[in-house]
Amino acid sequence: MTYEDIKILYEDNHLIVALKPQGVPSQSDSSGDEDMLSLLKAYVKDKYSKPGDAYLGLVHRLDRPTGGVMVFARTSKAAARLSDQIKDGTLQKRYLAVVTARPGEKRARLTHWLLKDGATNLVKVVPMTTDGAKKAVLDYNVVEDNDENGLYLVDVKLHTGRSHQIRVQMATIGCPIYGDVKYGKNQPNGAFSLWSYDLSFRHPTTDKLMSFRVFPPEKYPWTLFNLEKHIGIVKPRD
């Protein structure tokens, strides 16, 4: 993979908004595989003939199997201001997920305390008093049922950004992500169905509201649902 394989949604002197493919790490990890941060640094370096290592700030992450929209900062000032927006809730992310069971409530807020095991890269729900546990909060809304296939489309809004958060919290209520072999039992490999479809924030210098929405891949199980209705835009046609 090269940076030419990455779709750029927006760029200016302060930031880059790009579409992360599923299976690509947000930043370098032990796998040594190409990652979004390195690929976009190479893109900036080549496009703008930057000497040395081009600066690019990673202000938020997506799990490796999760695809969707991400924003990167081209200056340290932009990185700091976007990070502040994450802390105060101005920067907002929404996800679509296909889950393998219908939650008991159509919409609800989930609050758990999570602990990550660095050795296994697994996150689990633990008591609030557990040393190192971090509070995780999300809102979900079941937006479409496909009872024939036993699959359900859920819109998720994050209030915290914990590692594997949506995957663990949905699995904890008995509704694992379709294709999530890490947290769901008997899930099909290669069909992971969690997608960051909406990202909004204030531009770090102009304060203009920036909003981006992107469709998940046109493949099963996403094709079972009316995504245009739920995402609120018309899917681009080839």
118 CB burial (10 A radius; 0-12, 13-18, 19+): exposed
- Residue 214 to residue 121: CA distance in whole angstroms: 28
User: Active-site residues: which are they?
Assistant: 63
Q: Which residues contact 104 (CB under 8 A, 6 or more apart)?
A: 173
The residue type at 72: F
Task: Tally helices (H) and strands (E) across the chain.
Answer: 4, 11
**Which is nearest to 84 in space by CA: 73, 74, 95?**
73
Which amino acid, one-letter code, is at 165? Q
Backbone angles phi, psi at 117, to 5 degrees: -95, 105
Which residues does residue 123 pair with via DSSP β-bridges, in sequence order? Answer: 116
CB-facing half-sphere around the CA of 213: CA atoms within 13 A: 12
3-state SS, residue 88: helix
Sign of the CA dihedral 164, 20, 176, 86? positive
* Rounded-to-integer distance, Cα 141 and Cα 134, Å: 23
CB-side exposure of 167: number of CA atoms within 13 Å?
26
